[in-house]
Amino acid sequence: MRKILCCLLLLPGLAWAQPRWIEVDGVGVANVTPDSAMLSAQVTALAESPKQAQADADKVINRVLDAFEEAALPVSRYGAGSLTLGPRYEYREQKRVMLGYEARRGISLEVPVTEVGLWLGRFTELGLTEISTPNYFASDDRAQRDAVFQAALEDGLDKAEALAEKLDASLGEVLEITEQGGAPMPRNMMMADAAESGRYQPAQQAQQVRLRIKVALD
């Protein structure tokens, strides 16, 4: 009986001693100017046999790879491993007619923004038949990312402090910080400078860091 009574007397104190905390999201955003681009293109070859179609596509890709080697580009900046091969048909008067065999090979190349126009032109000269829109991105800048992270942290703590005041409490220690995301978000794919023909100027990107912050309340 005494043990049960002691437990009952302790329960209100235990309930009052339960820790209190709040969670908030802090967001930091910075505008960054892309300095690199990923270029991709492919060649399509049609021939009477699969072997000939592949040979024709390989001939173009080998020419592109030779150009990369002549420009002393690092192997880590380009790739040419894809191949699609199969019959190609066309419908004529509701009948399916085989035109031959089609081979497709693709190429990808990472270049500085200043070389985008150069290599887009070279792709056409070298025989690539389908060229995709450049994908612009900003190189990883540790100092820039640290600044965005700090801005997100300060934003979250400001929100936490405002909530604590509403609850008539004060902030305690930070219990947990979890990053929710931080990939650059392109605003526009590409913006050409009309004043200088052939110049490619990508639009700025908004780099965002979102933090989930858990803070104790005193």
Q: How does DSSP classify residue 185?
A: E
Q: Which of 137, 105, 125, 126 is nearest to 39 (CA)?
A: 137
Domain boundaries, the chain: 19-33+140-217, 36-137
Token pair 């990939």 is at which residue? 183
The upper half-sphere exposure of residue 194, i.e. CA atoms within 13 Å in the direction of its Cβ, equals 0
Token pair 């858990």 is at which residue? 214
Sign of the CA dihedral 124, 127, 132, 134?
Answer: negative
The upper half-sphere exposure of residue 113, i.e. CA atoms within 13 Å in the direction of its Cβ, equals 18
Write down the CATH superfamily of domain 19-33+140-217.
Answer: Protein of unknown function (DUF541), domain 1 (3.30.110.170)
- Pairing status of strand 20-32 against strand 191-192: unpaired
Write down the CATH superfamily of domain 36-137.
Answer: Protein of unknown function (DUF541), domain 2 (3.30.70.2970)
CA–CA gap between residue 74 and residue 62 (Å, rounded): 16
CA–CA gap between residue 66 and residue 71 (Å, rounded): 9
Amino acid 199: pLDDT: 66
Amino acid 167: pLDDT: 86
Amino acid 4: pLDDT: 40
Residues of the chain with pLDDT below 50 are 1-16, 184-197
Per the DSSP assignment, residues forming a β-bridge with 84 are: 104
Amino acid 40: pLDDT: 96
How many residues belong to the chain?
218
CA–CA gap between residue 20 and residue 217 (Å, rounded): 5
